[in-house]
Amino acid sequence: MKKLLVFTLALAMLLGMMLPAVAEGGYKIAILTGTTSQGEEEFRAAEKLAGLYPDIVITDTYPDNFSSEVETTMGKLLQFAENPEVKAIIMCQAVQGATAAFTKIRETRPDILLLAGVAAEDPADIAGAADLVMGVDEINGGYQIIETAKEWGAEVFIHYSFARHLGYETIVARLNIMKEEAELAGIEFVMRDAPDPTGDAGMTGAQTFILGDVPKVMEEFAGKKVAFFTTNCGMQEPLQAAVLKEAGAYYPLPCCPSPFHGFPASLGLGVSPEDYGNIDSYLEKMAAKLNEYGAVDRMSTWAVPVNMSMILGGFEYARNYIENGGEKVDQAKLVEALTDAAGFAATVSTYVDSNGNEVPNYFMILFDNVNFRDYLE
């Protein structure tokens, strides 16, 4: 895969120097994200936009324990809508409470543009409440994940998840594809239960479980190449760290593919605001560190930070709608906004549910994954 110089330049422009001047005053765009422990990528993207446009962008975060604090999340969204200057709300990740809050907002503020990214609720429900939904193309990502594992010669594939996530239609659809593709590739597919980070054990308990379970798996399948995947954002860092320590372990993709999803901590690189605007340089740092671990050919991700692209692209889309009008749902303008945000062409398609019904305002985003050998000096 070629180095994405265009991506680096475009994202740097978008984060540091970019975007034509937004008209001062007159409207605000509100952004709700998770905290750094649940989704640092989205948080940093919103933080950067708020720094660039303090008179336009307002931000807040939903609770880490969002599944049991739904009312708090809803309250934050409703509070945004109480501000008459707010003309658009972007929520990423759109965790539990988004559908109910957006539905209430529509009753009193039908003028507000409602954008949701990485929705946790039923696709039909969130699409009915939001104007436009953006999601990682988890379903087709299932093909990509198993294909990568196959290219690496993996003999076993471990899938970590928990009951709450296995109730999400898109996660289940991807899981079924992964199972089918693994069988076709002759890869043994193993589902392994992990603690729900929003449960009693919390995120710490879930991360501790992963760190302890990977060595057990490697012992169980001694002498075999084992690929690992988990559906939860907070589990990416410990899974990456555990895989790095095991010579026969592989990591095809994070659940939300990005150079910044878990890797800064697991590789000990950290991340600065400048790194978000210089992706090529950061990928080179990642490749060098992976080479130290002998893991250049054992780990991958997308060069494009997809959740970050949803925030930045969503801002561009909302800004264009507020300033220029038009339809609330415009796939061509969304693709343009995402491409400007990523600096790299996204594959965007409308979501189709398990019954074959198209959801016309639910858009799925897919990018190519990285071969870190391309980034070794």
| pTM of the shown model | 0.72
Per-residue pLDDT for 300 more than 50? yes
Give residue 356's region: left, alpha or beta (phi > 0; psi -120 to 50): left
Q: Within 10 Å of residue 20's Cβ, how many Cβ atoms?
A: 7
pLDDT tens readout for residues 336-349? 999 888 877 778 99
Cα–Cα distance list, 210 to 167, 229, 247 (Å)? 21, 11, 17
C-alpha to C-alpha distance for 314 and 31, rounded to whole angstroms: 10
Average pLDDT in the chain: 90
Write down the pLDDT at residue 246.
Answer: 97
- Where in the chain are the domains? 5-137+306-366, 140-300
Using CA atoms of 337, 333, 74, 136 in order, give the dihedral in degrees to the nearest 10.
-70
Burial class (CB in 10 A: 0-12, 13-18, 19+), 154: buried
Pairing of strands 226-230, 249-250: parallel
Q: What is the mean pLDDT of residues 321-339?
A: 94
Decide if 193 contacts 264 (C-beta within 8 A): no
Per-residue pLDDT for 10 more than 50? no
pLDDT tens readout for residues 128-166? 999 999 998 878 899 999 999 999 999 999 999 999 999
Write down the pLDDT at residue 22.
Answer: 43
Write down the pLDDT at residue 257.
Answer: 87
C-alpha to C-alpha distance for 106 and 91, rounded to whole angstroms: 15
Q: Where are the alpha helices (DSSP H) in the chain?
A: 5-12, 36-52, 70-82, 98-108, 123-129, 138-151, 169-185, 202-220, 236-244, 263-266, 279-293, 306-324, 331-342
pLDDT tens readout for residues 185-236? 999 999 999 999 989 989 999 999 999 999 999 999 999 999 999 999 999 9
Task: State whether CATH 3.40.50.10860 applies to domain 5-137+306-366.
Answer: no
Decide if 156 contacts 249 (C-beta within 8 A): no
Q: Within 10 Å of residue 212's Cβ, how many Cβ atoms?
A: 11
Q: What is the mean pLDDT of residues 106-134?
A: 96
Residue type for position 339: T
C-alpha to C-alpha distance for 298 and 239, rounded to whole angstroms: 13
Sign of the C-alpha dihedral, residues 144, 149, 152, 155?
A: negative
Mean pLDDT is lowest, of 23-37, 87-101, 171-185, for 23-37
Q: What is the mean pLDDT of residues 45-64?
A: 94
Write down the pLDDT at residue 368.
Answer: 81
Question: Which residue is listed with tokens 């501790």?
Answer: 208
pLDDT tens readout for residues 285-295? 999 999 999 99
pLDDT band per the 50, 70, 90 thresholds, residue 44:
confident
Contacts 24+ apart (CB under 8 A), 136-139: 136/255, 136/256, 136/257, 136/306, 136/307, 136/364, 136/365, 136/366, 137/347, 137/349, 137/364, 137/365, 137/366, 138/170, 138/171, 138/173, 138/174, 138/364, 139/170, 139/173, 139/174, 139/177, 139/364
pLDDT band per the 50, 70, 90 thresholds, residue 13:
very low
Per-residue pLDDT for 12 more than 90? no
Start-to-end CA distance of the chain, whole Å, equals 15
Report the topology of domain 140-300. Answer: Rossmann fold (3.40.50)
Cα–Cα distance list, 325 to 30, 85, 87, 317 (Å)? 18, 16, 12, 11
Decide if 301 contacts 254 (C-beta within 8 A): yes
